[in-house]
Structure 1
Amino acid sequence: MKKISLNLKQITTYLLGWLGAVLLITNCTTKNEVQPNSADKPLLNQKTAVSNNAAGSGRDVMLQGFHWNTWQHGTWNIIKNSANDIRNAGFTMVWFPPVSKSTGGTGYLPNEWYNINSDHGSGSQLRDAVSALKSRNVKSIADIVINHRVGTTNWADFSSPAFANNARAVTRDDEWGQGTGNYDTGDPYNAGRDLDHTYSSVRTETTNWLNWLKNDVGFDGWRYDYVKGYSGYYNGLYNDATSPYFSVGELWPDITGNYFASGNGVNYHRQRLMDWINSTGNKSTAFDFTTKWQLMLAVDRSEYWRLRDTQGKPIGAIGWWPKMSVTFIDNHDTGPSPGGGQDHWVFPSNHVEKGYAYILTHPGTPTVYWPHYFDWGSNLRNKIKSLISIRKSQGITATSSVSIQAADGSKYAAIINGNTAMKIGGGSWSPGGGWNLAASGSGWAVWTR
């Protein structure tokens, strides 16, 4: 995604708009910012006093409840009819696609926020799916698209809800050319109108809608889409106003320079994730794109040394702040979807088992992609189910300890939580006596004691 370039006038306008937002909003915390660094030490701000950082219980396992084409088959009914399987697999949360009426398809160009009759199904079917999960103690996480929006019939004739001034709700550097709001606080998104979150009406309507999704429809938390498009400060405000059980932001950092970088050479990437978390006031988790990047290279190139940083910790965001990191192998954007999909950054298909053996035994909150569990056959499904069961029975959490035992050209091995050992790769390794083999597959094994 291309970067936005601001001149002095734009920067001044943005700063004045931001200051106005602070003065208009009550009961909010001070924005905390950090700058990227190059050393193998994160610049974190974990001391901010927050009553709820929306990181869940620490014992959660999330299922992405859709792929790029599930809307063609009735997503809400699919989730409802799979509720027993979801619970029995050990998932505690399901991430729903965007629920509002949109210009079509998966839902990432929403127009009428309160109109939940979408291509995924009717509003009543959505409520039934959420209720089916709730009755089984599985929480529902809504995909929240508030970086941008499209008009009801035109570029920016917003309705359900309208803003106090629809033109004022659009950033002035939006490609529409008629927005009268402040300059964008993040990267542009050309497929929809970039919303100006410095505008009080945008904040009010966003907060009202989120509370409606939570209190009326029954959602428990948020997955914020394309958070690089606006300041994370506002995600913190919205979480303050809605108290979600769980919140995660999709901050997909650009890979700059060498794609095959490792060690300290990837720290800028995971620092971007830390910076965004800090910008929310430490009130939201973030998807761990750094772990995905390095894990893909490790398994595909037999370069397992990538998975250990120079401090002996896991290389991704989980090595710096596991509580606030959400791991995954693929999603609707990066991975394959039945019937064709985005395929932007596909995890090597012959190594998917190894990928899940890693994230389901490691700290962070792991996420499983719907097709991997429901569409790729019973063998992979049973492996994932077994790994989730081990994670739960061994008490592995988002903050469990990791002691890396080996990371070289043929294998990666670690002991997690002191009671679970794992290995991926073709190289030989064993945890020694007193351990029992709990699960294994193509190029991986897990032991317990």
Structure 2
Amino acid sequence: MKSRRILFVLFLIYFVFAILLNSVGTVILQIINNYGVSKSAASVLEGFKDLPIAVVSFLVASFLPRLGYKRAMLTALAIVTCACLAMPLVPGFLTAKLLFLAVGVSFALVKVSVYSTLGLVATSRRHHAGIMNTLEGFFMLGVLCAYWVFSWFIDSADPRSHSWLNVYWLLAALCAVTFVLLLTTTFDEHLAALPAQRTPAQDFAAMLRLFFKPLVCIFVITAFLYVLIEQSVGTWLPTFNNEILHLPAAMSVQVTSIFAACLAIGRLSAGVVLRRMHWYPVMNACLLGMGAVVLVALPLTRDAVPDPDITWASAPLATFLFPLIGLFMAPIYPGINSVMLSSLPQHQHSAMTGLLVIFSALGGTTGSLVTGYVFGAFSGHFAFYLTLVPITVVLVMLYFFRRAVEGHGAGEAEPSAIIRNTN
């Protein structure tokens, strides 16, 4: 395989889906403004995105190698292209729900396929960790672009304007171009082939058995909690900026790009750090840093007052301080994913990624719904203070994750040692 071309296409696919997936916070803000939908009702968009990811991953991840990773990604791109075209053609809250339903179904196919294809390209455990962090870095670059691209189409002077829907013409074109590039890229997937004697039902049962291994169980719970935190912040930060910091709608979205930029910088640089340091102390330092940002930044938001002439220069300090939590979040998700996936033989990557996607999706939905409810029933301050609870739990879970890895002789040894001892 021409690995550079394959990696470019995979990074581009992830970039496209980053824009679509992480536009949910912006769309929630616009849905509230355009259609008078309540915060708790608008928060279901996260569920329309994440629950299909979980369901589809559960149903198809174990036998995606039989379908073919390239074919699955092409199908996903075709679905989201049509969904993007529907948004400006048939505007409405229902269309937004169907858009994120389509994005969720498609991303389930894409994430399992992309993560599994990385295993075909990677030449070593360190190489796998490097390209995993780069992939997630490109994902966050897509998130960063999403905030700015959407903000260009938002009319802050008229919150009820539907001009923001024109962004979907651009996104549909980007999806179509990515489809063509993938179609013309050659993949060699024979290394991921499942044992010929196994049936799809046996593949599905093998995925379920994988979950009950102690190492895997601890890993997916940790991933669930991490995504809960990230989605709680990422989804509701535009609304927090708008209602608590009193920023204009377009600026609220633009400022959220600082959070995405911090995640991108952190993930692109994490590979360098993790080549020189053990992952466990790095993760602990990151979690402690996240807690410190919450405790320092949120008290500063209570002094914010409405200012019709507010600019970037006159915005409250908390506007720029709280998004820095992304720098500390960044290395955790790709770091633990790489430790887990590079510990498995190639034919189990699809099943393991399926479990990861399921619990990540459930974590994202849970985080958004809980934060949306608390935001509406109590306050944005209290909603974001609650992130300290899962941060603390993840800190504890990482301790057990490390013990599970080292208990199976993983340590710094070859990754194959883990799965040999957990079978």
TM-score interval, smaller chain = under 0.3
TM-score, length-scaled by structure 1? 0.26
Higher relative strand content? 1
Higher relative contact order (CA 8 A, sep 6+): 2
Higher relative helix content? 2
